[in-house]
Amino acid sequence: MTPQEYVQDKAAASGSSFYYAFLFLPKPRRDAITAFYAFCREVDDVVDEVSDPGVARTKLAWWQAEVVKSFQGRPEHPVMMALMPCAREFGIEERQLLAVIEGCEMDLQQTRYLDYAGLQRYCHLVAGIVGEVAARIFGQSEGATTAYAHKLGLAFQLTNIIRDVGEDAARGRIYLPVSELQQFGVKASEILNRSYSERFSALMKFQADRARALYDEALALLPPADRRSQKPGLMMASIYRTLLDEIERDGFQVLHQRVSLTPLRKFWLAWKVQALGKL
C-alpha cells in the first residue's frame, strides 16, 4: 500500500463529514487535505483507542518526534510521507502539527474544564489550528480568512462535544464546562450515569445556541474574495449545522446514542453548497 492509498483509506474509513467536503476539491488540494486529515485521525486515535495513559503518552511523543524528523526530510510513517510534499506546496508548518498533538495530550491530562475559557484553549489546538491549516490548503488568499477558520473550527468542535457527550462520558470525560453544569444545576454524576432531565436539556440548548452563534460569526468573518476557495469549509458548516438541528429536534438524546446524518444526506448538503452556493 502506498502512502497515498494509506491516507485515503484512513480518511474514508472514518465516515467523517469532512470527507464529503474533500470530494469536490481539485486533486492536489484533495490529496493534501486527505493526508492532513489522516494525520489528525492518527494522533486523535491514540487518545481514544489506547487505554493505558502511559502508552498513549509514549505514542504521542513518537508522533512529535516524527513530525520534527519529517520537516527535516526524514518521514517514516506513511501519513507523513504523504503529507510532506503537500506541506511544502500549501504552507503547512511544523508548529501547526505539533499544536494538534498538544491538544490531544490535553485529553490525557484533563477530563474536566472549569469554564468556557479553558475549553476554548483546548478547542483552539484540536480544531482552530486544524481550520487554519485547512483554509490554506483550500486556497486562502486573504489574511482575515484565518480568523474565520479559527471561529468555524471552534463551532465544529462544540458541535462534536454536544454530539459526543455520552461517548465521552463512557471514557470518563466531560467537556461541558463545570461552571455551566453548575449554572443549570446538572451534576457530573448525572452525565456519567446517562441520566436525562429538563435541567440537562436546558444545558444542552445553551450549548447548541452558542455553537449556532459561532457559525454565524464565522461566516461574517469570511472575506468575499475567499468565499469560493473556502467552499469545502462551508460544506462542512452546512453538514454540522444540520446535525446540530437534528440533535435538538431529537430532544438532545445524546447520552445513550450518537446522532448522525446518513452518507447520502451529507453528500446532498455538500453538493448544494458546491452547486448552488446554499448553506
CATH number at residue 219: 1.10.600.10
In terms of C-beta density within 10 A (0-12 exposed, 13-18 middle, 19 or more buried), how is residue 152 classed? buried
- pLDDT given at position 12: 76
User: For residue 111, what is the DSSP state?
Assistant: S
Domain count, the chain: 2
The per-residue pLDDT of the chain, averaged, comes to: 92
Q: Do 238 and 121 share a structural domain?
A: yes
Q: Which of 109, 129, 162 is the last residue of a domain?
A: 109
Tell me if 68 is assigned to some domain.
Answer: yes
Tell me if 247 is assigned to some domain.
Answer: yes
Cα of first residue to Cα of last residue in the chain, in angstroms, is 37
Tell me if 14 is assigned to some domain.
Answer: yes
Tell me if 279 is assigned to some domain.
Answer: no
Q: Do 253 and 124 share a structural domain?
A: yes
C-alpha cell at 138: 483550500
Q: Do 201 and 116 share a structural domain?
A: yes
Q: Do 158 and 143 share a structural domain?
A: yes
Q: Do 92 and 49 share a structural domain?
A: yes
Tell me if 277 is assigned to some domain.
Answer: no
- pLDDT given at position 278: 60
- From CA 137, how far away is CA 133, in angstroms rounded? 6
Residue 47: which pLDDT band, with cuts at 50, 70 and 90? confident
Q: Do 143 and 69 share a structural domain?
A: no
Q: Do 249 and 129 share a structural domain?
A: yes
pLDDT tens across 175-233, in order? 999 999 999 999 999 999 999 999 999 999 999 999 999 999 999 999 999 999 999 99
Q: Which of 62, 84, 109 is the last residue of a domain?
A: 109
In terms of C-beta density within 10 A (0-12 exposed, 13-18 middle, 19 or more buried), how is residue 73 classed? exposed
Q: Do 97 and 4 share a structural domain?
A: yes
pLDDT tens across 137-154, in order? 999 999 999 999 999 999
| Residue ranges making up the domain that contains 181 | 111-265
Q: Do 192 and 120 share a structural domain?
A: yes
Q: Do 245 and 222 share a structural domain?
A: yes
Give the predicted TM-score (pTM) of the model.
0.92
Averaged over 251-261, what is the pLDDT?
93
Q: Do 63 and 146 share a structural domain?
A: no
269 closest CA partner among 6, 17, 34: 17
User: For residue 80, what is the DSSP state?
Assistant: H
251 closest CA partner among 204, 211, 184, 185: 204
Tell me if 272 is assigned to some domain.
Answer: no
User: Are 269 and 235 within 8 A, CB to CB?
Assistant: yes
Q: Do 95 and 222 share a structural domain?
A: no
